[in-house]
Amino acid sequence: VNERKPLTVKNFGIWLRYDSRSGTHNMYREYRDLTRALAVTQCYRDMGAKHRARPSTIQIMKIKRLPAKECRRPHVTQFH
């Protein structure tokens, strides 16, 4: 996937589903990164650290580039 502006930081929203020991969970997460691929990598690492979810149990449903006004999470909006 080629990005139009690979050197500018963008906001991404990621909708995902993952299997844990207690069941299947849907989740929405936001990340700031240069490309979609880097945002997905950040998501996999974050899910592994916070939820002990292995990459094989994570299904990414949708990735959307978000304008600043659509961002919901404080750790993303603090950089606007």
End-to-end Cα spacing for the chain = 25
Instruction: State residue 45's pLDDT score.
Output: 98
Structure tokens at 10: 């963008």
- Compute CA 12 distance to the chain's CA centroid, rounded to the nearest angstrom: 6
Q: What is the mean pLDDT of the chain?
A: 96
* Banded pLDDT at 63 (limits 50, 70, 90): very high
Question: What CA–CA distance (Å, rounded) separates 48 from 25?
Answer: 14
* Banded pLDDT at 6 (limits 50, 70, 90): confident
CATH of 10-67, one of 3.40.190.10, 3.10.20.10, 3.30.450.20, 3.75.10.10: 3.10.20.10
Structure tokens at 45: 């690492």
pTM of the predicted model as reported, rounded to 2 decimal places: 0.91
Q: What is the mean pLDDT of residues 1-16?
A: 92
- For tokens 């139009």, the residue is 4
Structure tokens at 50: 């916070």
Instruction: State residue 3's pLDDT score.
Output: 84
